[in-house]
Amino acid sequence: MAGRTLYDKIWNSHVARDYGDGSALIYADRHLLHEVSTPQSFLAIEVKGHAVRRPDANLAVPDHSVPTRDRGSEIADPQARAQTARLAENVARHAIPFIPLSDARQGIVHVMGPEQGFTLPGMTLVCGDSHTSTHGAFGALAFGIGASECGIVMATQCLRQKKSKTMRVRIVGERGGWLSAKDIALALISEIGANGASGHAIEYAGPVVEAMTMAERMTLCNMAIETGARVGMVAPDGTTYAYLENRPMAPKGAMWDLALAHWKTLASDPEADFDRDMEFDVTGLAPYVTWGTSPEDALPITARVPDPAWASDASKRTRQTGALSYMGLEPGTPLIETPIDKVFIGSCTNGRLEDLRAAARVLKGRKVADGVELIIVPGSGLVRAQAEAEKLDRIFLEAGAEWRYAGCSLCVAMNGDRVAPGERCASTSNRNFEGRQGPGGRTHLMSPQMAAAAAVTGRLTDVRDLQELSS
Amino acid sequence: MMPFEKISSRAVWLPEDNIDTDVIYPARFLLIMDREGLGRYLFHDRRFDAHGNPIPGFPLDAPGAEGAKVLVAGDGFGCGSSREQAVWTLLGHGFRVIIAPGFGDIFAANCLKNGLLPLTVSRELATELGEAAAAGSVFEADLETMQVTVDGREVIRIDLGEKQRQAMLNGWDETDILLREDGDHIDAFEAGHRQRQPWLFHTET
């Protein structure tokens, strides 16, 4: 008998009904809600008179449109205020557990969920946000859904799903000490392409992944969606269990032992077949940055802006030409000569304590370059508190950065934080799409270390050079 | 959702690859909590400058594009954010069929929940259909015959499961269908699941 993959095992244990055509009714164990993708979902079920089937399987928090500058009594923007208020009203009406803006645990859904132990191995978890793939870092089957599906899950606890193909990405080689999970994620996306893994569930494996912390695994799985894969996952192991034990919502006592025994059966069988299997060697990899308007437009920081004339086909050439025009870049220019105006450190990709520590190591004793604005937005209130306990906030403030409250902030630019037209931003977020950080804004994706280095020099910078300069 | 009735119209060609949902529906409009009336924001920042003035040259605003119900797009159409507004704005503008070499997975799923038909074709066929669209050909799509024709010639045989076809033809709401057809299965599964993985049913905040 052929072995089963991690994905197969979780899928199989959640089939409420097999339709026999490659699709099934999949039971969703957990649903995370935020203010932006759910107003229409609640309307859809209420107009039909459907109840929320299991309120306790849901957890709601405002994150996308909330201000991060201050936590005053009222949100200034009337639309954002109304949306955040609507979430509170909706969840109250259906008795859904809720973490309000004033709560210390408030944060980005994909930072808060794992932090609280809401995310567990072997479970199915959905959320109206494409970066739900983040939770796959725990060996969960987690994926983003639309507003209609949010309503369906609330009413039925299930979704009709077509089974994905499976793809294993074995990450191997010697990882340089300064090479972050973000660099690996960007390098992988440039290799696979923005749609290269469409229709697939990715399992990240291999020695480099096994040695990663949970924060690093979350960064990696977070960006699976940027290859087109709805799902990115890592088999749970000792690192996973150590992270989860004693988290507020994780099982306790005898229930923990029972869960742990099950979790240890989840890893892909050695003889399991994947529809695709690739190996990715990180030996000698330089830090990565993006130059264009798709996360696949990523290159080592040591490279030059590409020339569309060299693109492999006409459609790529057209897209690259458009991207360079939008980004205001000239082919052949070394990437490190690109000046920047803003720096954003945060998001569900890189807004965790380890990310802030990495940025602080670069910023310690340095100053943000003249004319550059650096904002640092922790992924949750707890991350903020931990960073302050470690006095990271002092390092940031002394460097001239703004130290913010938790939220999605400049990753999606819905809360008043914006990159102005023509401005260039070094950003630790996940998408460099046109207008993503504000209409006409130009985004370069990179790791927290690299973003901090860019803030210090005022241009895209190889963080390794900066470290040599200071030593 | 809106029932899918046979359509006949001209088509718009947008050949660019990787048109993401931020381009289709910019994030700042996500603060709007309606799902109706979003058509005016479709490809907003490609069509209007910072002062709201039209930017000439976008295919959607070309002469002859008005009233088009079919969009021929590049690969990876609808990649990125899960925002269902990307579907609602396309529907609001009048589109009912999107033809492309590939779609974002979440976007394609959202289409089917709303009566917008995503059709995946080869890159060669997409280019051929795009050229036909640019030349003013008439596209027809029919879920009774499962055909898409261009100027009367069949170009695509629609591949859609029977359940999905019926749902789209009739405009059925998926929650209603699940509760009606699958309710017993859900109850039975949930009871067993609770026995097998009881820790999933103990949540406390």
- Would you place residue A471 in the very low, low, confident or very high pLDDT band (cuts 50, 70, 90)? very low
| Residues from chain A contacting residue B82 (CB–CB below 8 Å) | 37, 128-130, 144-146
CA distance B180 to chain A (A): 11
**Contact at CB, A439 and B45, closer than 8 angstroms:** yes
Q: What is the mean pLDDT of residues A329-355?
A: 98
In the predicted structure, residue A108 carries a pLDDT above the cut 60:
yes
Highest mean pLDDT among B58-67, B127-136, B194-203: B127-136
Beta-carbon contacts below 8 Å between A and B: 210
Q: What is the mean pLDDT of residues A302-326?
A: 94
CA distance A211 to chain B (A): 28
What is the CATH code for A6-277? Answer: 3.30.499.10
In the predicted structure, residue B205 carries a pLDDT above the cut 80:
no
Contact B23, A440 (CB under 8 A): no
**Contact at CB, A37 and B84, closer than 8 angstroms:** yes
Name the class of domain A292-470.
alpha beta
Q: Please tell me which of the candidates B76, B80, B188 has its beta carbon nearest to residue A130.
A: B80
A292-470 and A6-277 share a CATH fold: yes
Name the residue of chain B whose CA is nearest to A417's CA. B28
Going edge to edge, which strands form the sheet with A30-33? A58-60, A30-33, A124-127, A141-144
- Residues A198-254: tens digit of each pLDDT: 999 999 999 999 999 999 999 999 999 999 999 999 999 999 999 999 999 999 999
Name the residue of chain A whose CA is nearest to B15's CA. A315
CB contact A325 to B (< 8 Å): no
Q: What is the mean pLDDT of residues A152-178?
A: 96
Provide the 10 A C-beta neighbour count for residue B132: 20
Task: Name the CATH superfamily housing domain B7-172.
Answer: Aconitase, domain 4 (3.20.19.10)
Name which of B28, B32, B116 to mutate to probe chain A: the one with the most chain A Cβ atoms within 10 A of its Cβ: B28
Identify the pLDDT of residue A71. Answer: 87
How far apart are the C-alpha atoms of A342 and B186, rounded to whole Å? 50
CA distance A464 to chain B (A): 31
Contact A461, A450 (CB under 8 A): yes
Q: Cα dist. A435→B79, B89, B201 in Å?
A: 15, 17, 41
Q: Where are the domains of chain B?
A: 7-172, 173-205
- Would you place residue A11 in the very low, low, confident or very high pLDDT band (cuts 50, 70, 90)? very high
- Residues A29-54: tens digit of each pLDDT: 999 999 999 999 999 999 999 999 99
Q: Where are the domains of chain A?
A: 6-277, 292-470
Q: Looking at chain B from residue 119 to 148, which residues have their Cβ under 8 Å from any Cβ of chain A?
A: 123
Identify the pLDDT of residue A2. Answer: 79
Q: Cα dist. A446→A455, A458, A460 in Å?
A: 12, 15, 10
CB contact B165 to A (< 8 Å): no
Identify the pLDDT of residue B93. Answer: 97
CA-based end-to-end distance of chain A: 57
- Of A325, A330, A328, A323, whose CA–CA distance to A305 is shortest? A330
CB contact A48 to B (< 8 Å): yes
**Contact at CB, A25 and B202, closer than 8 angstroms:** no
